[in-house]
Amino acid sequence: MSKDSLSAAAAKSQQKAVDASKAVGRVAMESAQAIAQINQQAAQEFAERIQKRVSELMKTQDPKSAFDYVHAEVLQDASKEVAHYHQQLLNVLRSGNKELADIAEVMIQDSKADLIHFVNDATDNAPPGSEAYVSVFKTSFNNALQNFELVRAAMADSFANFEKSVESVGNLTATKGSSKKK
């Protein structure tokens, strides 16, 4: 493998890493913007509901009626709103998580393809009499390919576990919200 082709391959790999970093940054920024928008909307809706509820509560003369109103109306509505808010956040996180998993998968596949290309170039241009070294090198290469697959599987498991943990928090919130209704 010539020095120029090695430099070109390194530059190509660096550009892929830069592009992947930009894509990850874009996903993070879009997720943060979506969450900020959800939070802003939730805060506005909360302020409107509080103002409406306080005005309705002020009309109540009887403390028992006020308590019943707060318990029946306000708390149930609040638990529904929290569940809705949580679902919106979960959707944003799930979408961002999927995009990040896709970016990581592409990076792994590109790195694997680059490694295969490098090994093929190196072994095809090996000098005569170096067959034993080529054999050891290819064995090491096959081990590296297996490691790529292990990294890919670990990455997929990591993203799946993150999504499960977010969903379990959602299920916990939904369970607590529905138990308050009873």
Domain around 48:
3-181
The domain total for the chain is 1
The model carries a pTM of 0.63
Which class for 113: exposed (0-12), middle (13-18), buried (19 or more C-beta within 10 A)? Answer: exposed
- In the DSSP assignment, the letter for residue 98 is H
In this structure, what token pair is assigned to residue 24? 């990850």
Q: Is the separation of the CB atoms in 57 and 68 below 8 Å?
A: no
Identify the residue with better confidence: 135 or 173.
135
What pLDDT, in 10s, does the model give residues 60-111? 777 777 777 777 777 777 778 888 888 888 888 888 888 888 888 888 788 8
Q: Distance (Å, rounded) from C-alpha 147 to C-alpha 144?
A: 5
Q: Please tell me the predicted confidence (pLDDT) of residue 170.
A: 67
Q: Please tell me the predicted confidence (pLDDT) of residue 36.
A: 92
Q: H or E stretch including 160?
A: helix 131-181
- Backbone phi, then psi, for 93, in 5-degree steps? -65, -40
The Cβ-side half-sphere exposure at 28, using a 13 Å CA radius, reads: 6
CB atoms within 10 A of CB 152: 17
State CA 86 to chain mean position distance: 16
